[in-house]
A = this chain, B = another copy of it.
Amino acid sequence: MLLSKSCVYGVQAAIYMASLPRNEYVSIQEIAGKLNISFHFLTKVLQNLTQAKLLMSYRGPNGGVALARQASDISLADVIEAIDGGDIFKECLFGLPGCGVADPCPAHENWTSMRSRLQHLCTSLTLEELGKRANQLNVRLANADAPMNPAMLLAAINSKGKPVETK
């Protein structure tokens, strides 16, 4: 897989936040429940995004995480690089370190052109755009497997009677 699971989770969470009508603090538990991701694991992933200044966080009741910049100012590539590192778009098809124009392999030309297309796609896709699309019908973010899991139930319980849906 191109992206690590951590990275996928981070991207999903970022798009989820961008899809909300207002950029306010959302608890990680809510996000984890909605996206069907382990709460503890997502917490660590989002810590990366907080440290990379893409999210801001707030502890205590009514705390949570929120986008640190405007959704239109955060690209998919920003999120990916914050979690998986910037090498994703420099890395080789064959995963070989330190090779380039001076000493290329037979597929280098083809690969680099491919890679730059991919990078361009990721840098030009903003969270705003993705969030908008997520709000359209029949669009989803999470893995559809395992329709109900403990984290979702917990999130539902913790929502104190009001529906889990917040948007």
Contacts and interface: CB of A to CB of B under 8 A. Distances in A.
Interface of A: 1-3, 5, 8, 11-12, 15, 76, 91, 93-99, 102-107, 110, 114, 117-118, 121, 125, 129-134, 138-141, 143-145
Given A114-B121, A134-B106, A8 B95 contact: yes
B138 A104 contact: yes
A113 to B, nearest CB: 9
Q: How many copies does the complex hold?
A: 2
Given A76-B107, A114-B117, A117-B117, A11 B94 contact: yes
Q: Say whether chain A's binding surface is mostly helix, strand, loop, or mixed.
A: loop
A1 B110 contact: no
20 contacts: A1-B91, A2-B2, A3-B93, A3-B94, A8-B95, A8-B96, A98-B144, A99-B144, A103-B139, A103-B140, A104-B140, A105-B141, A106-B130, A106-B132, A106-B133, A106-B141, A107-B133, A110-B125, A114-B118, A114-B121
